Amino acid sequence: MLKFDKMKGFFSAIILSSLALCSIDAQSQDDSFIPCQVMPMLITNHEADMGDLVRYYSPSNSFRWGRISDSGGSQERRDRIVELKEKYLAELSKIDFEELPQECKVDYILFKRDLNNDINEAKQHDETYAEVKSWFPFSDNIYKYLKLRRRGYQLKAKEVAKNWNTSAKQIDSLLPILKEDQSFNKDQVQEAILAVEDIKNSAASVFSFYNDYDPIFTWWVPSTYKALDSSLAKYKIAFEAKLENKRPVDESGIIGYPAGREELVKQLKYEMIPYTPEELIEIANKEFAWCDKELLKAAEEMGFGKDWKAAQEKVKNAYVEPGLQPEAMLDLYNESVEFLKENDLISVPPLAEETWGMQMMSPERQLVNPFFTGGTNITISYPTSGMTYEQKMMSMRGNNPHFSKATVHHELIAGHNLEGFMNSRYRTYRNYRTPFWTEGWSLYWELLLWDEGFPSSPEDRIGMLFWHMHRCARIIFSLNYHLGEWTPQECIDFLVDRVGFERANAEGEVRRSFIGSYPPLYQLAYLTGGRQFYALREELVKTGKMTDKEFHDKIMQLNSMPIEMIRAILTDQDLKENFKTSWKFYDSID
């Protein structure tokens, strides 16, 4: 029997029971909403515990939602979080895996995977921090006061001023030495920046708590705090300069960090994708060849022979005039949802249809995301008055209705909007966020609707093929970049020459891929995850084991997780506690 904090367990049980009761009507009396008690409760309690620890041990004392993994900051915080995760691993070890129902076996496998992954990441940070620790001899002069500040103890203000004055002078003396030191690698620099940021925020937390409230502190500390804060800011800039010097730069001006093959393989294993980077590139090229054949067919239907670029130009020039883009996107939305209903492909909750919204994308955001984004709202990319003529034309041409035919349902229903709607209502204790599910599900609908005849005209097929080629290209250029084979400029040229991107849009796509917050596998997750769902449909729907609606509704009720685990649930596979990925879902692709 697992032992939990009684109150936390009590409230978690109430929450889970309430969720079950509230969801009875939505699930047609599906009493498997919570497949067992132990795993949902364990996961819920872990998430709550992590939220409390991160809130308490972070300088800002702010709460954070979602699956939390501490990747930087003080050694104290990292040690405490590792301790918590090891406690939950111990709790897992008390569970009889073989006695769990299938869904809870999946939860066990994934929860254990995530705990071990977070512990290993923390240990890697520990090792890297140990390599740069000598650059932070002053850290205890800040952290010891942060510990006292958490409980409101009155500080010895003169001592704080003296120690912080000493710390500022230490930093100032280390600064010229740091600027000359060329021995740092990228990981060490990044770890040092995290350390500086945490120390700086910790000092700010102490100062803001006592200043103006403690008269002695207010008399002694402000000037020394200001000097310390300034020195820490310069220290951070010096480390950041080293980071900039380690970034490969080419004529595109886009800078980033190739992850390297070892890291790619590690992340593919974590995401349960049993292919090497090189195999994924090869498969993407094969799928690209299929797109080429279909593109030529559409070009011939339009009277352009084999000149697909000329056919694509005609499609691009069918752009929407200023002021009409939102209504054009509404028409595409209505068209796609009607198609889903007419073909009985998936249940569409009336409230989801009622409550999605629209926003317009800012010019600044369009620099890194030249197309639409979606979720609760669809954010529409279209030129604004301040753009140059060339920028306006590229934006309008790149977001023409035929291209957008494949993106509106990707961003709304049955894509990202429906994902968010259902994830907040079903198996809400699951936090296995993965782009292979999130982006793969939305991309899957592009593949399925193509097969079902949604693009009826050659112009619409060219529009959908543009996006299919785009997804193939994302696999090819992002992996080649992270393998160190291609430069950002080569990636841009590939999108322009091979897919037909407007150059500004290609630059935005590559900039988004390499200098944003996206992890190395994010761009390949679209088509790869889509093909996982597609292969699973071939296995279950094409063989008559499930209808389309049953298949799609069940996936939406399982919440986000690696797609191989969805397959394990739907096919009732024999699962072992130390599961290893093996599903070669691309084998069915010619």
For 172-196, the pLDDT digits (tens) are 999 999 999 999 998 999 999 999 9
Q: Is the pLDDT of residue 226 over 90?
A: yes
Span 430-442, mean pLDDT?
94
Q: Which of the four pLDDT bands, split at 50, 70 and 90, describes residue 365?
A: confident
Which residue in 290, 260, 316, 151 sits closest to 590, CA to CA? 290
pLDDT of residue 221: 98
CA dihedral 449, 452, 458, 460 (to 10 degrees): -20
Neighbours of 181 (CB within 10 A): 12
Span 572-583, mean pLDDT?
94
Q: Is the pLDDT of residue 589 over 60?
A: no
Q: Is the pLDDT of residue 590 over 60?
A: no
Q: Which of the four pLDDT bands, split at 50, 70 and 90, describes residue 31?
A: very low
pLDDT of residue 23: 39
CA dist 271 and 206 (Å) reads 40
What is this structure's pTM? 0.88
Furthest-apart CA atoms within the chain: distance in Å: 84
Element holding 377 (H helix, E strand): strand 377-380
Query: How are the residues of the chain apportioned to helix, strand and coil, as percentages rounded to the nearest 5?
Result: 65, 0, 30
Q: Is the pLDDT of residue 118 over 80?
A: yes
Q: Is the pLDDT of residue 163 over 60?
A: yes
Q: Is the pLDDT of residue 497 over 70?
A: yes
pLDDT of residue 367: 66
DSSP-derived secondary structure letter, 153:
P
Q: Which of the four pLDDT bands, split at 50, 70 and 90, describes residue 567?
A: very high
Q: Is the pLDDT of residue 64 over 60?
A: no
Averaged pLDDT of the chain:
89
Q: Is the pLDDT of residue 479 over 90?
A: yes
Span 127-153, mean pLDDT?
96
Q: Which residue has the higher pLDDT, 486 or 361?
A: 486
CA 114 to chain CA centroid, nearest Å: 15
DSSP-derived secondary structure letter, 154:
P
CA dihedral 502, 504, 505, 510 (to 10 degrees): 120
Q: Is the pLDDT of residue 517 over 80?
A: no
Burial of 83 (0-12, 13-18, 19+ CB in 10 A): exposed
Burial of 576 (0-12, 13-18, 19+ CB in 10 A): exposed
Q: What is the CA radius of gyration of the chain?
A: 27
DSSP-derived secondary structure letter, 484:
T
Span 125-141, mean pLDDT?
96
